[in-house]
């Protein structure tokens, strides 16, 4: 029996004539932090989008918590993304009209939580991520690293089962990037959230329990010995 929480099996996807995934298989267990590396254009983001139910593969299957999700309609995949998944992207993508606090509360508001309760849930994240006093600022008034920490809080506030992070440190200098990674992995581990992390940077991937490499639309696990919360035993091939 598989212990995967999120899994792609033999996924294929082409954009018109361009094949992006050619039989990619990958899985992450509950509470695991999985780094997905590989050259530019190899299919990492496309694979992440298939796992997250944003893109529907042409062939192959995607499973979440034992349930096949690639064959669900858009409405059910969208509900799944809202209820079970969190997202952090390279450029924070905060809503500029909202305050930082409202941005963090957004997933809860979309899930029907009342505004006062959603903001009350959002607030502790500011102290936790070193953002004291910044809750009232808009994204234009935050540094890149601060904005990315707000985006991280937004990605985790609804306690998702899986956090999908696509180059979350790509726009940050290396020190700020490491701070964001430490906070991300620490908070995810605390709440048992699985993390699927796409990154170019080995220093960022080093925070993961396991690493996979995507090349030419196929994925390969590089390090095994998954041990959530502990160091992975590396048996690179």
Ligand X SMILES: Nc1ncnc2c1ncn2[C@@H]1O[C@H](COP(=O)(O)OP(=O)(O)OP(=O)(O)O)[C@@H](O)[C@H]1O
Asked if 237 interacts with ligand X (CB under 6 A), we say: no
H helix or E strand, kind and range, residue 125:
helix 124-128
**Dihedral angle sign, alpha carbons of residues 132, 171, 177, 191:** positive
Asked if 199 interacts with ligand X (CB under 6 A), we say: no
- CB 42 to ligand X: min, Å: 4
- CB 96 to ligand X: min, Å: 24
Asked if 8 interacts with ligand X (CB under 6 A), we say: no
- CB 14 to ligand X: min, Å: 8
Size of the site for ligand X (CB under 6 A): 11
Asked if 15 interacts with ligand X (CB under 6 A), we say: yes
**Closer residue to ligand X, CB minimum distance, 90 or 223:** 90
Asked if 168 interacts with ligand X (CB under 6 A), we say: no
Contact 185, 25 (CB under 8 A): no
- CB 60 to ligand X: min, Å: 15
**Closer residue to ligand X, CB minimum distance, 47 or 184:** 47
Choosing from 31, 38, 160, 177, the residue that interacts with ligand X (CB under 6 A) is 38
- CB 22 to ligand X: min, Å: 11
Asked if 45 interacts with ligand X (CB under 6 A), we say: yes
Other beta carbons within 10 angstroms of residue 222's beta carbon come to 16
Alpha-carbon gap, residue 177 to 171, rounded angstroms: 8
Other beta carbons within 10 angstroms of residue 31's beta carbon come to 18
Find the part of the chain contacting ligand X (CB under 6 A) among 34-42, 65-73, 114-122, 141-149.
Answer: 34-42
Pairing of strands 33-37, 194-198: parallel
Give the footprint of ligand X on residues 46-75 (CB under 6 A): 46
Torsion (CA) 108, 94, 207, 21 in degrees, nearest 10: 90
Residues 6+ apart with CB under 8 A from 72: 53, 80
For residue 160 the two structure tokens come to: 């998702």
- CB 156 to ligand X: min, Å: 23
Contact 50, 21 (CB under 8 A): yes
Residues that bind ligand X (CB under 6 A): 15, 18, 20, 38, 40-46
């Amino acid at each position: 029996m598989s212990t995967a929480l999120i899994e792609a099996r033999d996924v294929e996807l082409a954009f018109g004539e361009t094949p992006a995934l050619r039989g990619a298989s990958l899985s992450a267990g509950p509470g695991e932090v999985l780094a997905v590396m590989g050259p530019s254009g190899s299919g990492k983001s496309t694979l992440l989008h298939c796992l997250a139910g944003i893109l529907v593969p042409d062939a192959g299957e995607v499973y979440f918590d034992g349930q096949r999700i690639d064959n669900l309609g858009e409405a059910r995949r969208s509900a799944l993304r809202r209820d079970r998944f969190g997202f952090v992207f390279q450029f924070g993508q905060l809503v500029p009209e909202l305050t930082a606090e409202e941005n963090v509360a957004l997933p809860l508001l979309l899930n029907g939580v009342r505004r006062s309760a959603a903001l009350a849930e959002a607030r502790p994240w500011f102290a936790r991520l070193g953002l004291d006093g910044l809750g009232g600022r808009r994204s234009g008034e935050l540094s890149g690293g601060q904005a990315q920490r707000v985006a991280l809080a937004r990605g985790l506030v609804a306690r998702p089962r899986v956090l999908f992070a696509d180059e979350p440190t790509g726009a940050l200098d290396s020190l700020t990037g490491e701070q964001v990674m430490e906070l991300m992995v620490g908070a995810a581990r605390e709440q048992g959230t699985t993390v699927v992390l796409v990154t170019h940077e080995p220093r960022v991937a080093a925070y993961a329990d396991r690493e996979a490499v995507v090349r030419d639309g196929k994925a390969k696990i590089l390090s095994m010995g998954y041990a959530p919360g502990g160091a992975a035993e590396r048996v690179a091939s």
